[in-house]
Structure formats: structure tokens, C-alpha cells
Structure 1
Amino acid sequence: MEIKTNSFEVEYDKEINTVRFQGSLRLSGMDEYAPIVELLNQIADQNPANLTLDLRALEFLNSSGINVLSKFVIRVRQNKEMGLTVKGSEEIAWQTKSLKNLQRLMPSLTLELQ
């Protein structure tokens, strides 16, 4: 499963249960984020034991995108059988600030900042 544009890419590798985000997500509002929400929800519906969101190559994410990730983390938190790891980069300013908030939403979330 993949969503690809000129400015960003979201790709799911089912073999390693990893969603990779790359580029810059500057979409306007929840309507434009709908395909990404749908992709994430399809993955959650498959109920993998562990899922990784790899954000290390995501240079920018606006507030609507952070909202999408937050809602997804809350959805995963409600599924007691599913683990979640978020990989981020310490070199990208928004990630060091915002990704820690995801861990507050789901204390069992594993946050790896590299």
C-alpha cells in the first residue's frame, strides 16, 4: 500500500509491519489527509502484533497531520493486542517536540529518536 505525490510518500511494508513517511506533509485539513487516514485504518484493521511508524524522513508535518497521527495512536491504544513503535529523527525539530506527545497518548508506545 502506498500514497505518493511530488511532496510526500507514505508506504506500508507488510513484511516488516512498517509505515514509512517521507517528504513534507502540508495538506489542508482533514479532507486532504483522508487517504492517509484510510491507509492507516486499513493497516490497523489487519491487527498486526506490532506496527512501526517510521517518520525519520518526514521533514515537515503540519498540525492537521499531527492530529491524524494522534487519532491513529489513540485508535491503536484501544487495541490491547497491538504494539506501536514510532521512529523519529532528533535532527528534525518538529519531531523531537511532537513525537513525545504521542507517547503521552499511549504510554506503552515505544519512541525511538535517532
Structure 2
Amino acid sequence: MDIKTGDYSVEYDSANSTITCQGSFRLSGMEEYAPVVQLLDAVAEQNPPSITLNLRHLEFLNSSGINVLSKFMIKMRQKPEIQVILLGSKKIPWQGKSLKNLQRLMPSLLMEWE
């Protein structure tokens, strides 16, 4: 259930329900993000007790990618039995500004910064 390209990778570790995104998400439009959305949805459908979204090595995320994460958080809000944990990095400028907005969409979101 992993996605690997020259620019980015999305890997799912089922042992600890962690989705790790790395590289640069510079995809144009929701159609190109469809594999990422499918992976996120597939993990959510498994109903694990928690899902960790590790973005600490995601260098760039465009507006379409932020839209994907926002929609995922809204979807997860409807599954209160699943705790969502977001791992971010203060070393990557866009993360400090943009990821906090996800907490507005899902107040129960736990955020951990490195």
C-alpha cells in the first residue's frame, strides 16, 4: 500500500498504523492526488485505534495537497473512535503555518513537533 515516485513517497506501516509522507507534493489537481486519497481512505477503513500521519520529512505541500489533508481530517472527525496524531517539523516553514489549521477542522487532532 505504498506510493513511490521520483518526487515523493507515501508509506504505510500497518504494525503501528503510521502513514509517512516524504519529499515534495507538487501534484496538479485532485486527480493526481487520487492514489494518496485512496491510501488514506484505505487506512481509515481499517478502523485502527489510532492513525499517525508523519509529515516530518514532507518538504513541500501545495494547495491541492492541503485540500487532501483537510478532507481527510473532516472524514476522520466522523470516526471519533480513531485518534489521529500528526507529526510535524518546525524546521520546515510551511508546516508551522499550515498544519495548525488542520486542528481547527479536527479539534481532537494531536500534534507533535520536532
- TM range, smaller chain: over 0.9
For structure 2, list consecutive stretches of 5 or more residues without a partner in the other structure: none
Normalising by structure 1, we get a TM-score of: 0.99
Residue 106 of structure 1: aligned partner: 106
Residue 24 of structure 2: aligned partner: 24
Q: Which structure 2 residues correspond to residues 1-114 of structure 1 after superposition, within 5 A?
A: 1-114=1-114
How far apart in 1 are the matches of 2:50 and 2:27? 28
Opposite residue 2 of structure 1, the aligned amino acid is D
How far apart in 1 are the matches of 2:36 and 2:100? 21
Task: Give the Å deviation of 1:89.
Answer: 0.2
Opposite residue 82 of structure 1, the aligned amino acid is I
Task: Give the Å deviation of 1:80.
Answer: 1.5
Q: Secondary structure of 1:51's partner?
A: strand
How far apart in 2 are the matches of 1:61 and 1:22? 10
For structure 1, list consecutive stretches of 5 or more residues without a partner in the other structure: none
Opposite residue 81 of structure 2, the aligned amino acid is E
Normalising by structure 2, we get a TM-score of: 0.99
How far apart in 2 are the matches of 1:67 and 1:55? 15
Q: Secondary structure of 2:67's partner?
A: helix
Query: Which runs of structure 1 show a deviation greater than 2 angstroms over 4 or more consecutive aligned residues?
Result: none
Report the RMSD for the aligned CA atoms in angstroms: 0.5
